[in-house]
Amino acid sequence: MARKVALLLWAQTLGLTGAQTTQLLVEPPWRPAVLWDRVTLTCQGLGTAGATTWYKDGQRWGQQGLDHLSVTESGTYTCDRPGSGHSPPVRVLDDELVLQVPARALLEGDTVTLRCRGRQDNPVTRVRFYREEKDLWESLRGTELSLSPLQLHHSGHYSCSGLVKPFLSRSAAVPVTVHGAPLSGVSLSAQPPRGQVALGDRLVLSCAVATGTGPLSFSWHREGSGALLGTSPHLELHHVGDNDSGQYRCRVSNGDSVAESDPLNVTVLVPVANATIIPSPPSHQVHAGDNVTLRCSVQVGSAPVTFTWLHNGKEVAWGPLLELRAFDVGHSGTYQCMATNQLGQDGHRVFQALSPELALEVTPGSPWVTVAAGVSGALSFLLLLVGVIVAWHRWHRVYARKHQERAPQDPLAPSVEDPQATYMELQRQPWEPSDIYDNLHQKL
């Protein structure tokens, strides 16, 4: 069954089933056909049978509009279908001696028999066979030549000679073409295995054929790219880049049939880079006693990626998340995450990316947590700036007080130091108009 399927696929590739071009089938299935066999020709091609046109020796022939024809005269026949064009020619002979070959595709490894026949099947004796005019020195008793198993070098032009009483005759030469066995089982393999390769490494893809013979030609293609990547059984990429990822196929031809492999997915693995830490809740909403979660991520990097957490430079946890429950003084310090992936064959190349520092500080007894990201000097700079502002404010107050002490005071103005006390003294000694007269009387 597998053999029949392979033959069918091979025939479709060559157009022998009429799928690609018009074909002319002969019955009985021998070529050249002989007139005394009551030959029937059938035209197969695109379009309807009513559109068939027949030709004999290059001229329109017979009743048009039929897809079959019974041959009554020797000659060279073709047929035409508007959708698929002219068929290959079929010769019908009425010679004294004819060498016949099976009218089918001759595949490497098969067994084929050539037969030498006299007109009207008259007896033939003293038969010899020739290939390219070279005597094959076969037995003089038989009228058949067996070629088994067929090899590509069996291709050529064959003829026969023999005694058809009372004359010694020789047949016309007949072409024998041996085709390579149909191709099947085209497969791909990759090194490194599974087509996973680190950025900048070397990748080799190999194409193999399970069945099929003959001179093979190869072509390599990547899905989505029309460019031809190579024409040998191996495709080598010396330094793979980001754009080399994709699905690769190998197409093989032996001149008669074409087969294509299933796609192989090539993945270019990228080193980790640009690791960052994201706190949750955000830094301006964190208080002492809160549960704080730090998440580590990378901007680029092929899986698998592992994460390591550092607290004040020491490893404390692993995984993409770090949970700090009931944040207190013991959690203060700087945090970093380190992302790692192993690439290349057997993971022999290790890449690491270290995030910027994230500083978390809490003062004992204070409900606030100070969160600073970046370099460690940022917090010190902030504290220095606050100190300068406070010092300036105090100096300004001292200067204002000294300025007031140097200025002359109004004797009628109340005391600046204790206006409330002055107000209370005036209440204890109310002023009345009669006091003026008492003072005046004493002076007189």
The candidate with the shortest Cα–Cα distance to 304, out of 278, 346, 341, is 341
User: So what's the pLDDT on residue 419?
Assistant: 34
For the stretch 408-428, pLDDT in tens is 544 444 444 433 322 222 233
Domain ranges, ordered by start, for the chain: 1-94, 184-269, 273-374
For the stretch 283-334, pLDDT in tens is 656 778 888 999 999 998 888 899 999 999 999 999 999 999 988 888 888 9
User: So what's the pLDDT on residue 200?
Assistant: 86
Q: How is residue 11 annotated by DSSP?
A: H
Task: Tell me if 184-269 shares its fold with 273-374.
Answer: yes
User: So what's the pLDDT on residue 284?
Assistant: 58
Cβ–Cβ < 8 Å for 314, 349: no
Non-local (6+) Cβ contacts of 252 within 8 A are 183, 186, 207, 209, 212, 216, 217, 218, 258, 259, 260, 261
**pLDDT above 80 (res 266):** yes
Give the type of residue at 308.
T
For the stretch 334-366, pLDDT in tens is 999 999 988 766 666 788 999 999 988 876 655
Non-local (6+) Cβ contacts of 100 within 8 A are 30, 31, 32, 34, 114, 115, 117, 174
CATH class for the domain made up of 273-374: mainly beta
User: So what's the pLDDT on residue 371?
Assistant: 53
User: So what's the pLDDT on residue 108?
Assistant: 82
For the stretch 267-285, pLDDT in tens is 898 999 999 999 988 765 6
Answer with the residue of higher pLDDT: 398 or 242. Answer: 242
What the block records as the tokens of 171 is 């047949």
Q: How many residues does the chain have?
A: 444
User: So what's the pLDDT on residue 345?
Assistant: 61
184-269 folds as Immunoglobulin-like (2.60.40)
**174-177: Cβ within 8 A, 24+ apart:** 174/31, 174/32, 174/99, 174/100, 174/101, 174/114, 176/101, 176/106, 176/112, 176/114, 177/106
For the stretch 219-257, pLDDT in tens is 999 998 888 999 999 999 999 988 899 999 999 998 777
2 burial type by CB count under 10 A (0-12 exposed, 13-18 middle, 19+ buried)? exposed
Is the backbone of residue 120 left (phi > 0), alpha (psi -120 to 50) or beta? left
For 65, other C-beta atoms within 10 Å of its C-beta total 11
Question: What is the distance between the alpha carbons of residues 310 and 335, in angstroms, rounded to a whole number?
Answer: 6
User: So what's the pLDDT on residue 309?
Assistant: 95
Taking the CA atoms of residue 266, residue 272, residue 277 and residue 280 in that order, the dihedral angle to the nearest 10 degrees is: 20
Question: What is the distance between the alpha carbons of residues 340 and 308, in angstroms, rounded to a whole number?
Answer: 8
Cβ–Cβ < 8 Å for 331, 324: yes
For the stretch 4-20, pLDDT in tens is 333 333 344 344 333 45
User: So what's the pLDDT on residue 54?
Assistant: 93
Answer with the residue of higher pLDDT: 384 or 429. Answer: 384
H-type helices in 265-344, by residue range? Answer: none
Q: How is residue 139 annotated by DSSP?
A: -
The pTM assigned to this predicted structure is 0.49
Give the pLDDT mean for 57-67. Answer: 84
Q: What kind of architecture, by CATH, is found in domain 1-94?
A: Sandwich (2.60)
User: So what's the pLDDT on residue 248?
Assistant: 95
Cβ–Cβ < 8 Å for 125, 142: no
Question: What is the distance between the alpha carbons of residues 91 and 39, in angstroms, rounded to a whole number?
Answer: 11
Is the backbone of residue 133 left (phi > 0), alpha (psi -120 to 50) or beta? left
User: So what's the pLDDT on residue 2?
Assistant: 34
Average pLDDT of the chain, as a whole number: 79
